[in-house]
Amino acid sequence: MLIPRQPVPGLTLETLDSGSFDLAADGAGFATLVVFYRGLHCPICATYLKELGRLTPDFAEKGVKTIAISSDGKERAQQMADKVAQPDLRFGYDLSLQVARDWGLFISTSRGTTSIGIEEPALFSEPGVFLVKADGTLYFSSVQTMPFVRPHFQEMVGALDFVQKNDYPARGEYTDAV
């Protein structure tokens, strides 16, 4: 389990249009918003990523870079990027399932063809959203076992004003005995 205020695991992979991505060298002013999605087969992911892409300029105004990542290969990632049609949103691909697990993501097995007629990969990660501060420590995380009920990006954009104005600390950092 990742702990707020502690370093997150390394994260490096290729992107569709932005070259190699290395979280440790991303250079965000405040943080990087890392959004792990299930893959091309997930229609809920496409809708979710459209919203992320639409709000990416708003995040950028607050010093937050965004990236959407899945274990899909380059071709399927490109198909998702084309479907989402948000040029400001970076797409990473070929996420190793071991790295997904290191980030605390749940792994699912294929159930065959989805409601939109796309075959699920044999194994893939379930969604997760992580706000990683520029120093590489975890600020916020939300991990799902299902594609439903994810954090709202508009709410995050609004919360950043309060967080930055008040230097609000990451919460959930306590790990000693209770």
For the segment 24-36, the average pLDDT, to the nearest whole number, is 97
- Give the pLDDT score at 115: 87
For the segment 14-26, the average pLDDT, to the nearest whole number, is 97
The SS3 assignment for 81 reads: helix
State the alpha helices, DSSP H only, in the chain.
Answer: 43-61, 74-84, 97-102, 153-166
Closest CA to 118 of 74, 72, 163, 150: 72
pLDDT tens digits, one per residue of 80-124? 999 999 999 999 999 999 999 999 999 999 999 988 999 999 999
For the segment 60-73, the average pLDDT, to the nearest whole number, is 98
Q: What percentage of residues in the chain have a pLDDT greater than 70? A: 100
Token code pair at residue 78: 């490109």
For the segment 5-31, the average pLDDT, to the nearest whole number, is 97
What span, in angstroms and rounded, lies between the C-alpha atoms of 98 and 104?
A: 10
Token code pair at residue 64: 């937050």
Closest CA to 110 of 49, 48, 40: 40
Rounded alpha-carbon distances, angstroms, from residue 91 to 7, 70, 74, 161: 23, 8, 9, 26
- Give the pLDDT score at 33: 98
Model confidence band, residue 35 (pLDDT cutoffs 50, 70, 90): very high
Token code pair at residue 58: 């708003």
Rounded alpha-carbon distances, angstroms, from residue 122 to 9, 42, 79, 107, 135: 25, 14, 18, 10, 35
Report whether pLDDT(60) > 90: yes
Report whether pLDDT(78) > 90: yes
Average pLDDT, the chain: 97
Report whether pLDDT(158) > 90: yes
pLDDT tens digits, one per residue of 128-151? 999 999 999 999 999 999 999 999
- Count of C-beta atoms within a 10 Å radius of residue 175: 10
